[in-house]
Amino acid sequence: MPEQCPESYEGKAWATPEEALAMLQEWARDHGFAIAQSRGSDRDPVTRQHRRYDVCCTAGGREYTPTGYNIRQTSTKRTNCLFRGKLVCRRSHDDLWVYNSLCTEHNHEPLTCPSGDPVHRKRTLEDLEEIRVASESAGCGGRAVVAIVKAKRPEALLTRRDVWNDRAKLRREALGPYSQTQAFISNLSADDTFSRYTCHGDTVSGVFWSLPACMDGFKAYHDVLSIK
């Protein structure tokens, strides 16, 4: 089982909840589990900001069991782990955030590697920028991108699957409100490219396009059609 939270953290105070969660997360990573902020409560009537946050093990919560007919059996890491704690902004501590344990027990084996939990694999803005730049280079695969990111930040816990997911997200953001086909048609219409296509509702059944240089050749030799 993962080790219990050290007694030195019990009653320890931080200036912000982010600082507290970062330190607790670092300790959890070194001892085979990860924590998550589960909910906020005790909202301040003036600032409307939460003054308490509960934290729990990422293995907490009921294990998901599919009940529908012919539903794919998916895996889950949830084991209904009871580990819980709370961060409270206490006026008695000059509005510092104080951590207190509610339950220190785990009911699962520790992670064999910190990268086994997505919480420990969160990318920084610098990591995402490196992934974006490297993805624009032809032939730069997932393994190469992981090596580039780790060369600049050795402590990064990054997998090829993370790179693929981030690349897919970047592509969706670049498309905006368009699908891939709609974006392609939009680019053809915006450029000086000659194009013709047939639409049936939202479906494109055929697309023909020709670059300006090819159109010049076609006009000069209109009796010959060259397709490359």
Neighbours of 131 (CB within 10 A): 25
In a domain, 142, yes or no: yes
Does residue 185 belong to any structural domain of this protein?
Answer: yes
Residue 23 backbone dihedrals phi, psi, to 5 degrees? -70, -40
pTM: 0.64
pLDDT at 19 over 60: yes
User: Is residue 31 domain-shared with residue 54, that is, in the same domain?
Assistant: yes
For residue range 135-161, list pLDDT tens digits in order: 777 667 888 888 888 888 888 888 888
Q: pLDDT (tens digit, 9 = 90+) per residue, 40-64?
A: 888 888 888 889 999 999 888 766 6
Residues in a beta bridge with 194: 210
In a shared domain, residues 146 and 69: no
What domain range is 203 assigned to? 180-220
Phi-psi region of 149 (alpha: psi -120 to 50; beta: other; left: phi over 0): alpha
Q: For residue 226, is it within any domain? A: no
Q: How far is CA 228 from CA 99, 172, 197, 211, in A?
A: 67, 30, 18, 12
One domain, residues 108 and 144: no
* Rounded CA separation 132/63 (Å): 36
- Are 24 and 127 within one domain? no
State which H helix or E strand residue 21 sits in: helix 17-30
Q: How many domains is the chain partitioned into structurally? A: 3
- Domain assignment present for residue 118? The answer is no
Half-sphere exposure (CA, 13 Å, Cβ side) for 59?
20
- Is 149 found in the same domain as 62? no
Query: Quick one: pLDDT at residue 99?
Result: 92
CA–centroid distance for 97 within its chain: 27
Cβ(211)–Cβ(195) below 8 Å: no
Q: Would you state the pLDDT for residue 97? A: 92
Confidence band, pLDDT 50/70/90 cuts, at residue 98: very high
Question: Hey, which residues does 13 pair with through a beta bridge?
Answer: 98
